[in-house]
Amino acid sequence: MPTPPPIRHCSACGAPVSYRVPEGDSRPRAVCPACGHIQYENPRNIVGTIPAWQSSVLLCRRAIEPRLGLWTLPAGFMEIGETTQAGALRETREEAGAEVAIDGLYALINVLPAHQVYFFYRGRLVEPRWEAGEESLEVRLFSEQDVPWDAIAFRSVAQTLRRYFADLRTGRFELHAFDIE
């Protein structure tokens, strides 16, 4: 994913900004020469679930870019005013039409090139019902051997699924934290 474009205008007064290291800081920031407001560029949080039914997981085939037509876990951008868990449940309802009971945080992934941090929660489908939402072409349950590994949309999802199925085989689930550079 490309680097986001630089901030061009102040969010407080609209004046053009310049990049410089503010006093007491160590990084260049978008600083407004008119009002002094400093705008920070921070990673975006992606929240989602690993919805399980018995030994299978529910995946969504993307109806939107990026990676249109490829498979992913139900996930998306966290909204202001929600917790990571609430956002993960909302994204699962929106993309997969499924209700999930959360079993705990499963993966925390720093995706450095995309300026994103992923939070995937392990969960159980409350009942075996789902339907494609607006951002999904279809939603299906996959056992490990049936996952379309060559058609997984994102490395973060593929690595999370591989860890999940390995943990499922041992019956021991723990938090996985890793980076994608």
- CA 152 – CA 161 distance, rounded (Å): 10
Per-chain mean pLDDT for the chain: 96
- Name which of 63, 65, 73, 74 is nearest 136 in CA terms: 63
pLDDT band with cut points at 50, 70 and 90 for residue 28: very high
Residue 132 pLDDT: 98
Residue 1 pLDDT: 42
Q: What is the CATH number of domain 44-180?
A: 3.90.79.10
What is the mean pLDDT of the segment spanning 159-181? Answer: 98
Chain-centroid distance of CA 29 in Å reads 25
- CA 132 – CA 135 distance, rounded (Å): 8
Would you state the structure tokens that stand for residue 114, as one six-digit string? 């995309």
Q: What is the CATH number of domain 1-41?
A: 2.20.70.10
How many of the other CB atoms lie within 10 Å of CB of 87? 22
Would you state the structure tokens that stand for residue 61, as one six-digit string? 């085939």
pTM to 2 decimals?
A: 0.90
What does the angle CA 164 – CA 95 – CA 181 come to, to the nearest 5 degrees?
50
Q: Where are the domains of the chain?
A: 1-41, 44-180
Would you state the structure tokens that stand for residue 8, as one six-digit string? 């061009």
Residue 2 pLDDT: 47
**Helix locations, 22-176, DSSP H:** 84-96, 155-170
Q: Which residue, chain included where needed, has tokens 């410089």?
A: 20
122 Cβ contact list (under 8 Å, min separation 6): 49, 50, 52, 102, 103, 104, 105, 106, 164, 173
